[in-house]
A and B are shown apart, each in its own frame.
Chain A
């Protein structure tokens, strides 16, 4: 197996005079959720459309499952499930009937695929309600059911929570997470909401004005989102005694033989340092980490911020 499920190389899209996507290299690893984060119009949908062959590529390449999509469409696309913008369903048929049509066209991995897909998204099987009578939330769910109908290895979801109410958003988020955690699916998802991506993604790519500004794992980003005081001292037990007795600090954790973290960043560090030193505890370093992800994004997007 190749290292990446999706790899784009200098992917570019130019509409007339305007460059929508400029030389983007994204790397989606197997079994992980990759979040494309960017404002509306940043180029997220265009990237997804090019991966899915829904719009011609101006220049650059797309590899999916280790194969260039050009010339391998028939082998690659049945292994992908996608929602891009509003999915096309027949308004005068029910949800089940709509899915049954797609099941016939594409084939299914097992009997009862339609019933299964509807169960996953929490829609009733063989319900009499016509698609035209569906609420926005139900339409989105049916779109997701359609995307997972053939149990694909890779899901490409363009703003899947758009237009949902908060409960719906939480539910969709949960089953996207479950698809990845419990069933090992690889997922490429786009959003313009930082908190949404932060909750869901394992890896993140930040797009601004068609340019990929940063690609990084959530784990690395978390390190930029921290709020504590790191204290390096010669004697941890003694230091913790002083903190507890003199400063009534209880919210702290010992890291190793010489360091501890205080989670209240409003503490008077000057006084603490002094008290420690006076009582023969050498303070090797004390460092306040007080960064948030928002600040970091502001910094890399040049002050404009993300959402």
Chain B
């Protein structure tokens, strides 16, 4: 009697176990068929396909791994596509930005050559043509620089040098230019030595681009450059009291070819700030901008100290 009861109980437990295993097997088979489908789909190029798994699934890890592989190839593919598109956009805007000034340059020179204008007017025409030619030259130089940076082909020469000394040297070159534009300037650079690893050419370029930007676009009467340093990082602030940048434009100013003045007659080339940003990030630093309309703009560069 006792024995029978035990036997029955064991049988029941065995049945339950078998039932549980069968259910598991069924779930695994279902999962396998899903995995098979998904893999076929992924193989056909649908890298968005995912296999979903529950916490308790035996196949969980396999599913997660398949998804990870699909996700990473997907993001690589998308990156590639995006850089192709960026390149195409660059070519289009490039052709427009060169064609228009070039056409009018030719127009001015032809007028001079055909003696359509004489005397003072002729001289004025030559001056305008010259200006346009210089602008084109600057644009092409900046563009090549940007393309080199973007493609990662720029070679940097990092060296440990005194950032304060370097900043003073750069500003020394700027003082005559600022004065000739009737700009009041205020330069605050610590007297002490601050040794850090930078590429001096790149650092010079960053400050030059920011200052050039103020000169061309801001209409400011005053410029300040302030350098402050801690054990961890150097903070360089370039501020002006010009017309400022609107809140709608501000998030985009570091984008290549973005120009706040939306008419095509704008001076600059929309590359200066995006080059500055690239160069700052090469130094593992950050650059940000704050602005109040009609009150001025402040650019803040943070460079980590490195030796």
B142 to chain A, nearest CB (A): 19
- A231-272: which residues lie under 8 A (CB-CB) from chain B? 236-242, 244, 250-255, 260, 263
A184 CB-CB contact with B under 8 Å? yes
Residues of A at the B interface (CB closer than 8 Å) are 1, 75, 78-79, 104, 106-111, 150-153, 181-186, 236-242, 244, 250-255, 260, 263
Contacts of A183 on B, CB cut-off 8 Å? 48, 74-75, 78
User: What are 5 A-B contacts defined by CB distance under 8 Å?
Assistant: A107-B54, A108-B52, A181-B78, A250-B263, A253-B96
- Docked pose: A296 CA to B241 CA in angstroms: 44
10 A-B pairs besides A1-B44, A106-B52 with CB distance below 8 A are: A1-B45, A79-B50, A109-B50, A109-B51, A109-B67, A237-B104, A241-B104, A242-B107, A250-B263, A253-B264
Count contacts between A and B, CB distance < 8 Å.
100
Task: Give the secondary structure class of A's interface.
Answer: mixed
Question: Are the CB atoms of A151 and B50 closer together than 8 Å?
Answer: yes
Q: Is B63 an interface residue (CB 8 A)?
A: yes
Residue of B nearest to A107 (CB): B52
Chain A residues in 8 Å Cβ range of B47: 184
CB distance from B98 to the nearest CB of A (A): 9
Q: Which of B53, B57, B82 has the most CB of A within 10 A?
A: B53
A251, B110: Cβ atoms closer than 8 Å: no
What is the minimal beta-carbon distance from B150 to any residue of chain A, in angstroms?
A: 18
Taking a contact as CB atoms under 8 Å apart, the answer to whether B99 and A251 are in contact is: no
Contacts of B82 in A (CB 8 A): 181
Digit string of B253-286 for contact with A (CB within 8 Å is 1, else 0)? 0000000000111000000000000000000000
Given contacts A240-B107, A252-B100, contact A110 B45 (CB under 8 A): no
Query: A184 to B100, Cβ gap below 8 A?
Result: no
Distance (Å) between the CB of B157 and the closest chain A CB? 34
Does B191 count as interface, using CB distance less than 8 angstroms?
Answer: no
Contact B100–A254 (Cβ < 8 Å): yes
Find chain A residues with CB under 8 A from B2 CB: none
Bound form: Cα–Cα A90–B67 in Å:
29
Residues of B within 8 A of A108 (CB): 52-54
Decide yes or no: A109 and B63 within 8 Å by CB, A240-B103, A240-B107, A241-B108 being known contacts.
yes
How far does the alpha carbon of A252 sit from the alpha carbon of B263 in the complex, in Å?
8
Min CB distance A272 to B, Å, is: 15
Is B111 interfacial (CB 8 A cutoff)? yes
Given A75-B37, A253-B96: A109 and B104 interface contact (C-beta under 8 Å) = no
For chain B residues 19-56, which have a beta carbon within 8 Å of chain A?
37, 41, 44-55
Rounded to whole angstroms, the CA-CA distance of A185 and B74 in the bound complex is: 11
Q: Which of B36-92 contact A (CB under 8 A)?
A: 37, 41, 44-55, 57, 63-64, 67-68, 71, 74-75, 77-78, 82
B263→A151 contact, CB < 8 A: no
- Among A109, A152, A238, A242: residue with most chain B CB under 10 A: A109
Q: Is the CB of B106 within 8 A of A150?
A: no
Chain B residues with Cβ under 8 A from A150's Cβ? 50, 52
